[in-house]
Amino acid sequence: MTATVITGLAPILVYFWPAPPKGQKKGPINVALQTPVDQLQDGDAVKFDAPRNPNSAFIMADGGGDNAPGELAFGGFVVKNQGKVNVFAINCSHLGCSVALAKAAPGHPEASFDCPCHGSRFRLDGSVLHGPAAYPLSHLSWKQGPNPSEIEVEGIVLGF
Ligand code: FES
């Protein structure tokens, strides 16, 4: 009976099961930075975008709220904070808008990643400084590239 059901369903499941898009490939994506990691000053961040040719995205290593491990990001920041370098996805954890670096200035005493959509702010270590976001920024897995101005970020070549 079970064999009959499987034999009967298999051709139907194969028909409906989505085939992986041709050319999709997970792996490290090489990213050129405007400021090399070893030249970042404490409190500095440098933004980067996912390559468009071929069309690629980064894969979040963690996250909460609108972000989650395995979700895609199309940009990020390398940030140096208290001597530590982190790489964050650009996506706000509230509803996914792109955050931007706001440097410390008069009236804005603490540098932060600010979201233009609903006012969330994140400290340079990714933690929430101001809601409505309730979860920190998501990390991207990365390592230093072949030269100081390149990093390799875990991602996927989308193939379209
Ligand atoms: S999406 Fe960033 S505060 Fe809502």
Q: Which of 113, 114, 120 to mutate to test the pocket of ligand 1 (most atoms within 8 A of CB)?
A: 120
Nearest ligand 1 atom to the CA of 97 is 1
Q: Which of 117, 135, 138 to mutate to test the pocket of ligand 1 (most atoms within 8 A of CB)?
A: 117
C-alpha span between 111 and 126 (Å, rounded): 11
Q: Which of 90, 99, 114, 118 to mutate to test the pocket of ligand 1 (most atoms within 8 A of CB)?
A: 118
Give me 50's structure tokens: 């996912």
Closest Cα to atom 3 of ligand 1: 118
Report the pLDDT value the prediction gives residue 159, as an integer from 0 to 100: 75
Give me 143's structure tokens: 């390592």
97-154 pLDDT per residue, tens: 999 999 888 888 889 999 999 999 999 999 999 999 999 999 999 999 998 899 999 9
Nearest ligand 1 atom to the CA of 133 is 3
Which is it for the CA torsion 105, 106, 110, 115, positive or negative? negative
**Ligand 1 midpoint to CA 91 (Å):** 9
**Ligand 1 midpoint to CA 90 (Å):** 12
Report the pLDDT value the prediction gives residue 20, as an integer from 0 to 100: 52
Q: Which protein residues are within 6 Å of ligand 1, measured from CB? A: 92, 94-97, 115, 117-120, 132-133
Q: Could you tell me the pTM of the whole model?
A: 0.84
Predicted confidence band of residue 14 (pLDDT cuts 50, 70, 90): very low
Q: Domains in the chain, please, with CATH?
A: 23-157 (2.102.10.10)
40-83 pLDDT per residue, tens: 999 999 999 999 988 999 999 999 999 999 999 999 999 999 99
| Residue that wins the pLDDT comparison between 2 and 63 | 63
Predicted confidence band of residue 19 (pLDDT cuts 50, 70, 90): low
Nearest ligand 1 atom to the CA of 96 is 1
Q: Hey, how many other C-beta atoms are within 10 angstroms of the C-beta on 77?
A: 22
Predicted confidence band of residue 95 (pLDDT cuts 50, 70, 90): very high
Would you call 79 exposed, middle or buried from its count of C-beta atoms within 10 A (0-12, 13-18, 19+)? buried
Phi and psi, residue 110, nearest 5°: -120, 125
Predicted confidence band of residue 21 (pLDDT cuts 50, 70, 90): low
